[in-house]
Structure 1
Amino acid sequence: MAIETILLAVGPGDEERLDRLAEETIDVAGPTGARVVLGHVFTREEYDTAVDNLDFDTTADEVTADDVATRHSTTRDLAAKLDAADVDYEIRGSVGDHGESIVELAKDVDADRVLVGGRKRSPTGKAVFGSVAQEVMLSAPCPVTFVRSDTK
């Protein structure tokens, strides 16, 4: 199966994993020539906070999730790393439940691979707090690569 589209899903808490997420994405996208969809998912509260923090003029125009994702520092940092590696990408934003939104975005862009970050968590922690990465791995329409934070 050829890899033509990679969804690199980012959200809150991924700042510590940006280098690893970028490296893993470039390692796959570079040799295959795949296009990367840099998807940033926000809950409604995260979206509203980001709109306020990024000083959007909400009286002039409607502010879309794509607009917020494009200006978000996490997405800009990853975009700079993809630019430096000459990897083709587009930025997409989504508002909703993190896991469900990532799976829907993967379907929408017809992703051949999803890269998602996470941290090590005990089985009890996953059961009590849930796991976005676990939900994506179980529900995505394509293979998922889990990128854990460096443990140095």
Structure 2
Amino acid sequence: MAIETILLAVGAGDADRIDRLAEETIDVAGPTGATVVIGHVFTKEEYNEALDNLDFDVTAEEVSGDDVARRHATVRELVSKFEEADISYEIRGPVGDHGKKLVELAGEVDADRLVVGGRKRSPAGKAVFGSLAQEVMLESPCPVTFVRADTK
């Protein structure tokens, strides 16, 4: 199976693992020539907060989740790394439930691989707080690569 499209899921909590996410994605996208779709899902509340924080003029224009994602610091840092590595990319910023929207986005872009970051949690922690990565792994229409944060 050829890898043509990789969905890289990123969120606000991924700042501490952005280098690892970029490295793992580049390691696959480089040799295969795959396009990377940087997907940053916003809940409605996160979307509205980002509109305020990023000084969008919502009275002058309609602002999509894609527009917000393009200006997000984590996404901009990834874009810089992908441009440096000559990796083609696009940016998507769906608004809704994180897990559900990531799985939908993987289907929409016909992803051959989904890369998601996370941290180690105990079984009790997963039960109490849930696990976005676990939800995505169980529901994804394509194979998922889990990139754990460095534990130093």
- Amino acid of the residue matched to residue 95 of structure 1? V
Give distance in 1, aligned partners of 2:75 and 2:147: 16
* 2:100 aligned partner: 100
CA RMSD between the two structures: 0.5
Deviations 1:39-77 (A, max 9, x none): 101111111110100000000001100000001101000
Q: CA deviation at 1:138?
A: 0.2
* 2:125 aligned partner: 125
Give distance in 1, aligned partners of 2:65 and 2:144: 23
- Amino acid of the residue matched to residue 47 of structure 2? Y
Q: Secondary structure at the match of 2:12?
A: coil
**Structure 2 spans left out of the alignment, 5+ residues:** none
- Amino acid of the residue matched to residue 19 of structure 2? D
2:56 matches 1:56: yes
Deviations 1:98-152 (A, max 9, x none): 1111000000000000000001001111111110000000000000000011112
- Amino acid of the residue matched to residue 103 of structure 2? V
* 1:109 aligned partner: 109
- Amino acid of the residue matched to residue 17 of structure 1? R
* 1:34 aligned partner: 34
Q: CA deviation at 1:82?
A: 0.5
* 2:18 aligned partner: 18
Name the TM-score, length of structure 1 as normaliser.
0.99
Alignment length, in residue pairs? 152
- Amino acid of the residue matched to residue 9 of structure 2? A
**Structure 1 spans left out of the alignment, 5+ residues:** none
Question: Stretches of 4+ moved more than 6 A in 1?
Answer: none
- Amino acid of the residue matched to residue 14 of structure 1? D
* 1:149 aligned partner: 149
Name the TM-score, length of structure 2 as normaliser.
0.99
Give distance in 2, aligned partners of 1:41 and 1:54: 16
Q: Secondary structure at the match of 1:100?
A: helix
Give distance in 2, aligned partners of 1:77 and 1:46: 19
Give distance in 1, aligned partners of 2:109 and 2:145: 17
* 1:7 aligned partner: 7
Give distance in 2, aligned partners of 1:45 and 1:65: 12
Q: CA deviation at 1:12?
A: 1.8
Give distance in 1, aligned partners of 2:58 and 2:112: 35
